[in-house]
Amino acid sequence: MNPSAQPLALAGGPRLRDKPFPAWPVFGAPEEERLLRALRSGKWGKLHGEEVAEFERRFAAMHGCQHGIGVVNGTVSLRIALLAASVPSEGEVIVPPYTFLATASAVIEANAVPVFADVDLETFNLDPGAVERALTPRTRAIIPVHMGGLPADMDRLMAIARKHNLVVIEDAAHAHGASYNGAPVGSLGHLSSFSFQSSKNLTCGEGGIVCTSDERLAEACRSIHNCGRLPGGLWYEHHVMSGNYRLGEFQGAVLNAQLDRLPGQTATRDRNGQWLASRLARIPGVFPQRRGPECTRHSYHLFLFRLDARAFGAPRAAVLRALQAEGIPVSGGYAVPLYRQPLFVNRAFGPYLAGVSGRLDYGKVRCPNCETICYKQGAWLEQNLLLGTASDMEDIARAFEKVHAHRAILNSITV
C-alpha cells in the first residue's frame, strides 16, 4: 500500500518504518586483531609503537599529503595547525558560523580572533564573497569547513588567500575521503585538520590529525604535538611552549582497521546521498545541499537539507517531528549561529584575547544565511543512515513524501 495513503504516525497512523538504520561504528575482527597486537606489543604510546606511524602515512597519502601528524582530537589539530602556521597573537581568522564550536574555539585557544563570515544558503559552506567582505589588515588565516562532507569553494578561497597572503586551514572534520575536482580534500589548503571522534566517518572514539605537504609546517606540527621537542634533539629538550597531544597506539590500531573500510563506506554514502538528494528535491520546499560538478566525491558525514515551510506547506519543527514519528531519525542541525553562543556574546574567553576582547562585540554579528538555516530551515540526517540499502533510502524518501502529503494536518500540531 502506498504509505502516503495511510495517516501520519504522529496522528495515530502506522509508522512507516520500525527497522533501525545501520549502527555506527562498524567494526569486527580486523579492529580486534590490531588492538590485541598493539596491546600485546607493550608499546602503547606513539613514540614507541608502529600503529600510529603507519596510520599517519596511509591517511596522509590517501588525502594527497606528504605528512600526517596524529593528535588527540580534531580541536587540538586545528589549534596546532594555527600555531604551526605562526598565526600571530590577536590576528584575525575568518571562520563560518555554521559549524561545530571547535572551528572557532581553536582560534581562541591559539589566542587569535575568530571573525565570522556567512555561509552560502544552498551549499551551507563558507561564502567567498562574505570572506572578502570580512577581510581587514589584521586577517591572517581562513578556516573553511567542508560542511557535512561537501568540499568548500576552494578555488575562490585559495585565490583570496593568495591575493592577501593568508594561510588556509581546511577543517575537514566531516570530509574524510571527499574530493574536489578530483583532488582529495585535505590537500587543497596549506594545512588540514580531521577529527576521529565517535560520530565521524572515520573514528577511533577520540582522535585527530593535521595533514600538510609543507615540510616546514609539518615539522612545526610535530614539535608542537610532542612537547616542543625537535627531531634529533634530546628527550628532555623543549624548544617551544607546548604539551603532549600525541595520538595513542590503541587509537592508531583501530584507525588502521577503520581506514580499510573507508573507501567502500564513502562510495556507499556518496551513491545513497546523491540518490536521496535527487528524490527529495522533487518535493516542494525540500532543498538538499546543492552540489556542483567540482564536488567529485561527497563524504556525506551529514545529509544536509533546507525545509522551506512556506513552499512545503508546514512548519519545520512539525515536519521533523512527523518524520521522527515515521521512524526516520532527523535533526534540525545547529540550532544557533556560533556567534550567538553565550561564550561569544559574553566574551567568556578565559585567559585568551585579554588585549582585544574589549573591542570585540559578537552581539553585533549578522550572518543572514546562517540565521535562516539555524532558525528556520536547516536539517540533517546522519551518516550511518546513508550506509543503508536502496530499500532503506526508499523508506526515507517515502517518509518525506508521506509527511508532505499530510502537510495540512501539521499546521494544527503544536511542537
Ligand X SMILES: Cc1ncc(COP(=O)(O)O)c(C=O)c1O
The reply to whether 246 belongs to the active site is yes
Sign for the CA dihedral angle at 17, 124, 365, 341 comes to: positive
String of contacts with ligand X for each residue 338-367, x by CB under 6 A: ------------------------------
The reply to whether 194 belongs to the active site is no
208-212: strand order across its sheet: 67-71, 208-212, 191-195, 167-171, 139-142, 92-95, 113-116
Binding footprint of ligand X, residue count (CB under 6 A)? 14
CA–centroid distance for 164 within its chain: 26
User: Which of 8, 99, 140, 388 is the binder for ligand X (CB under 6 A)?
Assistant: 99
* DSSP one-letter string for 196-238: -BTTSSS-SBS-EEEEES-HHHHHHHHHHTBTT--TTS-TT--
Q: Please state, in angstroms and rounded to a whole number, the distance separating the CA atoms of residues 359 and 87.
A: 20
| Residue closer to ligand X (CB basis): 100 or 275 | 100
Least Å from the CB of residue 225 to ligand X: 14
Site residues for ligand X, 119-158, by CB under 6 A, read 145
Residue pair 300/269 in contact (Cβ under 8 Å)? The answer is: yes
Least Å from the CB of residue 74 to ligand X: 3
Q: Please state, in angstroms and rounded to a whole number, the distance separating the CA atoms of residues 209 and 142.
A: 18
What is the residue whose three cell numbers read 584575547? Answer: 353
The reply to whether 270 belongs to the active site is no
Q: What is the DSSP letter of 282?
A: T
User: Is 73 a residue that touches ligand X (CB under 6 A)?
Assistant: yes
The end-to-end CA distance of the chain, in Å, is: 29
User: Which of 8, 9, 93, 102 is the binder for ligand X (CB under 6 A)?
Assistant: 102
| Residue closer to ligand X (CB basis): 171 or 270 | 171
Catalytic residue among 34, 229, 279, 298: 229
User: Which of 75, 203, 299, 377 is the binder for ligand X (CB under 6 A)?
Assistant: 75
The reply to whether 197 belongs to the active site is yes
Q: Please state, in angstroms and rounded to a whole number, the distance separating the CA atoms of residues 76 and 134.
A: 25
Q: Which amino acid is at 363?
A: G
Least Å from the CB of residue 102 to ligand X: 4
With CB under 6 A as the contact rule, which of the stretches 26-34, 87-95, 169-177, 281-289 interacts with ligand X? 169-177
Catalytic residue among 6, 100, 341, 375: 100
| Residue closer to ligand X (CB basis): 175 or 410 | 175
User: Is 249 a residue that touches ligand X (CB under 6 A)?
Assistant: no
Residue pair 181/157 in contact (Cβ under 8 Å)? The answer is: no
User: Is 83 a residue that touches ligand X (CB under 6 A)?
Assistant: no
Catalytic residue among 34, 140, 246, 321: 246
Catalytic residue among 18, 19, 40, 236: 236
With CB under 6 A as the contact rule, which of the stretches 98-106, 274-282, 339-347, 367-375 interacts with ligand X? 98-106
Catalytic residue among 174, 306, 316, 321: 174
String of contacts with ligand X for each residue 187-206, x by CB under 6 A: --------x-x---------
Catalytic residue among 118, 127, 153, 171: 171
The reply to whether 162 belongs to the active site is no
Helix, strand counts (H, E) of the chain: 14, 13
The reply to whether 236 belongs to the active site is yes
Tell me the residue nearest to ligand X as measured from the CB.
Answer: 74
> Which triple of cell numbers denotes residue 108?
581562541
Q: At what angle do helices 249-280 and 29-41 cross, to 10 degrees?
A: 160
Q: Please state, in angstroms and rounded to a whole number, the distance separating the CA atoms of residues 285 and 308.
A: 5
Q: Please state, in angstroms and rounded to a whole number, the distance separating the CA atoms of residues 347 and 329.
A: 35
Give contact residues for ligand X (rule: CB under 6 A): 73-75, 99-100, 102-103, 145, 171, 173-174, 195, 197, 208
Which residues are marked as active site?
100, 171, 174, 197, 200, 229, 236, 246
